Amino acid sequence: GAGVSQSPSNKVTEKGKDVELRCDPISGHTALYWYRQSLGQGLEFLIYFQGNSAPDKSGLPSDRFSAERTGGSVSTLTIQRTQQEDSAVYLCASSFRGLPDGYTFGSGTRLTVV
Amino acid sequence: EDKVVQSPLSLVVHEGDTVTLNCSYEVTNFRSLLWYKQEKKAPTFLFMLTSSGIEKKSGRLSSILDKKELFSILNITATQTGDSAVYLCAVTNNAGNMLTFGGGTRLMVKP
């Protein structure tokens, strides 16, 4: 597609429920990243996919967070048993071969856990 | 652990003013420093800097990197209300392509 597409744009969920956030990267971009931005804060790295390599999961804050990328394209970030501290904007970015100046960010999913 | 600190946290100026935003960093095996503008949700790329002392310029925006003192500045001259945004600084290292971000500077330009 023309840009990085994320859905839903907003999600309100009850504490304890599971949520799935979707990211559709730019066609041909081999690298895909997930970041989290809490209110008034910078972006926090979560996970990185590059081609068929094993993902870099070093930023995932707990085992309630997981992500997969199917067929080297669409990615889903899953948060199980959501907590209030999970409330944030979740941003996805893709780039061609992981080049940092080629990052294109999606518009994010604003997650609110009540 | 890589660390990026931005200052000031927020800034209010009037149209036509010149502003300087600061970014200092501590990075093992530094590779590059990047500046982004975030107006709503999606940050948009401004500059990538890898070499000291070479100014990058785009219209009224310019940026420079000092790898000895470990900082960068972003200058905006003749500010306009459309420059109001959060400006984010980020670094990469040789270990990977993920970005480590600072907390951002919120700029508000009043008419």
Per the structure block, which two tokens stand in for B105?
């500077």
Q: Do B43 and A107 count as a contact with CB atoms less than 8 A apart?
A: no
Q: Give A-chain residues touching B43 at CB under 8 angstroms.
A: 43, 91, 105
**pLDDT class of B95 with cuts at 50, 70, 90:** confident
* Contact between chains at B45 and A99 (C-beta distance less than 8 A): no
Whether omega before B111 lies within 30 degrees of 0, making that bond cis, reads no
Do A43 and B90 count as a contact with CB atoms less than 8 A apart?
yes
Name, of A42-46, A87-91, A99-103, B1-5, the range with top average pLDDT. A87-91
For A38-62, the three-class secondary structure string (H helix, E strand, C coil) is CCCCCEEEEEEEECCCCCECCCCCC
pLDDT per residue as tens digits for the range B39-66:
988 899 999 999 999 999 999 999 999 9
Minimum Cα–Cα distance from A43: chain B residue: B101
Which chain A residues are Cβ-neighbours of B33 within 8 angstroms? none
Residue A1: per-residue pLDDT: 53
pLDDT of residue B94: 82
Span B18-44, average pLDDT: 93
Tokens 């930023």 correspond to: A59
| Residues A24-53, mean pLDDT to the nearest whole number | 91
Query: Per-residue pLDDT tens for A41-98?
Result: 889 999 999 888 889 999 999 999 999 998 878 999 999 999 999 999 999 999 887 7
pLDDT band at residue A101 under the 50/70/90 scheme: confident
The predicted pLDDT at position B83 comes to 98
- The pLDDT-based confidence of A110 (bands split at 50, 70, 90) is very high
Q: A39: nearest CA in chain B?
A: B103
Reading phi first (left if > 0) and then psi (alpha if -120 to 50, else beta), residue A40 is in left
In this complex, is the C-beta atom of A26 within 8 Å of any C-beta atom belonging to chain B?
Answer: no
Q: Map tokens 């200092």 to a residue.
A: B24
CA angle B104, B107, B111 (to 5 degrees): 170
Cβ neighbours around A63 below 10 Å, total: 7
Size of chain B in residues: 111
Q: How high is the pLDDT of residue B58?
A: 96
